A and B are shown apart, each in its own frame.
Chain A
């Protein structure tokens, strides 16, 4: 199949896959908007503890935030490498992005288990219910992103990732950066504004 046959341009001159993905990201804004709204509406209304200031660990979450920001940098460097046809560095940056994503997920698992040990579960109070649903949904998105990144990395190892299909990496990057911007909001709204 030629490159011309694999491109899908619309009457606007824009690629239909990229356009569809931006529409998907728009719908994701509404999903996370509803979860953040629910968290904010029920904030401070828990009648039993643990309360946010009892369990939230700001230094630890700051490191997780730094980790996710760095993963976004690795992602754009991977895209730049693919676009210039540098497969060697594309593999390095894709692997680094996936590893940082896995590190973030490990941090989230550690955080969730420590909260459960301190007595905060999904059913303990309104804070537990809204916190776990919001951050858990974000974590599920990060997991999907990591699987996607590892798939691209395997394709790069097989030599199937070339400058001609850089759009595949760009769309994966859009998803990854969206996950990052959602975390930027969660870090501020949930962790810092208590």
Chain B
């Protein structure tokens, strides 16, 4: 949504989600946390423990960033300001783990 401004540049404002959306997101976050802890305690899930937990964590992270931090509705420039360093941080983490042998590409 773009609103006119009396100044030189147009002011960009975006509508935020309703309280109902916030509550639904919170419910999903709690359910995902319960699943995470469940996956940790159930031995049947242990072969896929790491990918399952990383996936669940990534979904929770994305939900908070998209809905609570409003990146879904806000300017894409904010997504770039946040996503760029986040991606760089992830790449550096993986590179350091490979460099120091904490993660191997071959079994």
A residues sitting closer than 8 Å to B (CB atoms) are 4, 7, 9-14, 18-19, 22-23, 25-27, 29-30, 32-34, 36-37, 40-41, 43-44, 58-59, 62, 65-66, 69-70, 72-73, 75-77, 79-80, 83, 170, 173-174, 177-178, 180-181, 184-185, 187-189, 192-193
Number of interface residues of B (CB under 8 A): 54
**Which residues of chain B in 23-63 are interfacial with respect to chain A, using CB atoms and an 8 Å cutoff?**
23, 25-26, 29-30, 33, 36-37, 39-41, 49-50, 53-54, 56-57, 60-61
Please give the distance in Å from B40's CB to the nearest CB on chain A: 5
Give the residue name and chain of the B residue nearest to A175 (CB).
Answer: B69
In contact, A177 and B11 (Cβ under 8 angstroms): no
Other 11 A-B pairs with CB < 8 A, given A14-B77, A33-B88, A187-B36? A9-B11, A19-B78, A23-B81, A29-B85, A29-B89, A34-B92, A62-B37, A69-B33, A80-B22, A83-B16, A185-B57
Give the residue name and chain of the B residue nearest to A41 (CB).
Answer: B100
Give the residue name and chain of the B residue nearest to A182 (CB).
Answer: B61
Q: Is B106 an interface residue (CB 8 A)?
A: no
B residues sitting closer than 8 Å to A (CB atoms) are 2, 5-12, 16, 18-19, 22-23, 25-26, 29-30, 33, 36-37, 39-41, 49-50, 53-54, 56-57, 60-61, 64-65, 68-70, 75, 77-78, 81-82, 84-86, 88-90, 92-93, 96-97, 100, 102
CB-contact partner of B9 in A13, A41, A73, A173, under 8 A: A13
Give the residue name and chain of the B residue nearest to A178 (CB).
Answer: B69
In contact, B53 and A192 (Cβ under 8 angstroms): yes
Interface majority SS on A: helix, strand, loop or mixed? helix
In contact, B26 and A193 (Cβ under 8 angstroms): no
Please, which residues of chain B bring their CB within 8 A of the CB of A181?
60-61, 64-65
Please, which residues of chain B bring their CB within 8 A of the CB of A29?
82, 85-86, 88-89
Interface majority SS on B: helix, strand, loop or mixed? helix
CA A25 to CA B40, docked complex, whole Å: 30
CA A4 to CA B11, docked complex, whole Å: 11
Please, which residues of chain A bring their CB within 8 A of the CB of B90?
33
Please, which residues of chain A bring their CB within 8 A of the CB of B41?
58
In contact, B12 and A13 (Cβ under 8 angstroms): yes
Please give the distance in Å from A64's CB to the nearest CB on chain B: 11
In contact, A173 and B68 (Cβ under 8 angstroms): yes
Give the residue name and chain of the B residue nearest to A180 (CB).
Answer: B64
CB-contact partner of A22 in B50, B78, B96, under 8 A: B78
Please, which residues of chain A bring their CB within 8 A of the CB of B70?
170
Please give the distance in Å from A100's CB to the nearest CB on chain B: 12
Nearest 8 A-B pairs (CB), nearest first? Answer: A33-B89, A26-B85, A188-B57, A13-B12, A22-B81, A73-B26, A29-B85, A37-B93
